[in-house]
Structure 1
Amino acid sequence: MLSEKSAPIIEATLPVVGANINEIAERFYRHLFETHPELLDGIFNRGNQADGHQQQALAGSVAAFATMLVDNPGQLPESLLSRISHKHVSLGIKPEQYEVVHDHLFWAIVDVLGDAVTPEVAAAWEEVYWLMANTLINLERGLYDAVGVAPDTIWRTWRLVQRIQETDDVVTFVVERTDERDVLPSLPGQYVTLQMPMPDGTRQPRQYSLTRADDGHHRWFAVKRITGAGSPDGEVSNLLHTAAKVGDEVVLSAPFGDVVLDTSDRPVVLASAGIGVTPMAGILSHLAQSRSGREVMFLHAGTSPDSYALRNQVQEDLGTLPQAGMVTWYERDLDSGPGSGDERAGFMDLTDVELPADAVYFLCGPLPFMQVVRQQLLGLGVSPRDIQYEVFGPDLWQADYE
């Protein structure tokens, strides 16, 4: 909670800071990397820097946190903080790095706002920053402790043992452990961070959802090739598709991620579009492995049957569950062959689907897809607290949980 001294200052200055927060974030990152270029080796995704998504996410996070402190004293944006903390621990972020961020962020605030940043204003925003930073540090300490690792020990070397060409632009990579240490099990829906050695000598981190339940020796993750091999946005996926070969060693983090399936017996609805199928397939795999009796509905939207990555795996897992079904929407080339199931033309429309009562919902796919599906669910009377979503990359959409 903000102090009585700082609260009115933050409330008065929030509009001007909010109006300039994107420029502040842009200058912050530029100044940070000019001073600490080593942070672009293994920690920051330069693709997200190039397209501006990381700057937007930082700006939105700070603004959302400050707004919550003003509008709802005594409360914190738990979903926002949980999402950030899981991403941070998957990268091995350390408490001392928050001091580095602080110094460059406040340099950027002064650089943008100038004389408007009086000592009183600076002190109030310092309070906001450290409330957020210390909350994240404590959350991240708990996450490290929960899985028995430290920032420097989340990494492990695996060996690539199989490549599975799922579609023209999606490959599943199967890796096996290279020593006799136990494999830290993942929860259904979690991801790992891969540190990819790049031609320029740096390592680029990327998070990939685990697409199968662990067997104690292997992990599975699928990678969609992003077109534009010369751009930072797709440099890792292109390198994995073209250069990663069986026998290579890869470095992966321990599994993290807060969008995970609960342990209740409530029905489960998994809704995905495109490569968003990956965490949904991972959740389904856990349900199949445990021979769950829960009612499961798998909903997927894609361009065509040929573009449906992990389709065979999904169908096989659904076939092992006693109460499971699938509805698929394709923009073209509906497949009317055996095993195609309930296939429909066009975009996902849940208003004409018989959804199970009292279900929990998981969404993953392009942001516009998730926004539309969530609105449909809310319109059908589903509680916002029963809808979880996974965003690939920086979270530019903080859903309005109620």
Structure 2
Amino acid sequence: MVWYQPCDFTPHTANAGSFADMTPVELIARIERRLRMLVVHLPPPVATRVFSAGRAWFMQQLVLEHPAEVTITPVPVRAWGIEFRLPLWNAAGMFKHGLGYDLVAAQGAGGFVAGTTTFLPREGNTLRGVRWPAVPYPRSSAASNWMGLPNPGHAAVAKVLEKVPRRPGCPVGASVSADPGMPWDDAAEGLIQGIGMYADAGVDYIELNESCPNVAGHSSAIDEGLQRRLEKIATTVLAHRDRRLPVVVKISNDVAIDQLPELLRMLISLGFDGIILGNTSTRYTDARTMLHHSEHKLYDYFVNEYGGGLSGSVVADASAQRCRAAVQLISEIAPRHEFHVVRCGGVVSARNVADLMADGVMLHQWYTGYFESFAQFGHNLYQRLSMELEALRRESNRAATLS
């Protein structure tokens, strides 16, 4: 994998800054960022209901935006023969219906991933009258959600992606999962068919999601079920690819570091192309100590009523530790094919990205951090990040020259 010198991918700059320059969604996000501080002080059931409904509505509006193209300072990374103009793009779960490529491409993202999808459409989780429960912890740059993989199915999203006009340096990925609760043979067949649909749709890479804590069948353990699924995909999909289509496996941030050697050897031996570490966390006791005390009441309510997965700053250290360990282990294993680590979890700044790039983790995804950054910088969020990354790169090069 190569970190290239900057080159210009995008033609002109979007407006940013004053309220007068903002699009409606940018203005809503800026206001919501301030209101979020008040939401956590509402009675927890009310806060959960308000934020969950608001976030779902906001996402519907966001994907309909057509911002002007934003000029970024590219920090290109090439992996699997694919060029990513930036080392950062959205995590799966943000664009469940496959819509949003034009949005993030105009913003300057390094890529786009749709899903996660399953073979059959899923409504996701609803409990106590709350659909797709989620809450923020704004003082801690963290959040919880219990969504349960809502999606319209592989076929529907593949049709959307098939029609997406691509931009240079912004590849398209698709995240897939076996259907929770479906008999094993049927679930495996649905997963295989889904990968085939996305391959036919021309996506650039596939994520196999084995990390969601909000559905049955996914966990942080390396169990017999996981190994069986991976072997099935290896023999029926990986061994029969008619083009270079990387398939990477997304594993929970809660996976024990001492399990990584076994896991990585298995993935490499089966022919997978990378690992994403990871997803949300269910280490509730540990996470509570990282949250601002004013958010404990809402946190305790949500965990007790819904459980769900934690994202944002509370998973940053765990994700970074596992990614660094994985890079070192891969170096020791020395696979014969290209195999990369993608970080997902706790990315909130350019410094987060740059620090891990220096340690060999060249690709990154964000979710909670995206929304926080969008609330501050609107559609210029990747422009801001790219400028900071380039400044950090120059600083690093100067330090290396002086030493």
State whether TM-score is above 0.5: no
Which is greater in Rg? 1
Normalising by the residue count of structure 2, what TM-score does the alignment of the two structures yield? 0.30
Normalising by the residue count of structure 1, what TM-score does the alignment of the two structures yield? 0.30
Q: Which has the higher contact order (CA 8 A, sep 6+)?
A: 2
Compare the two structures and name the one with the higher strand fraction: 1
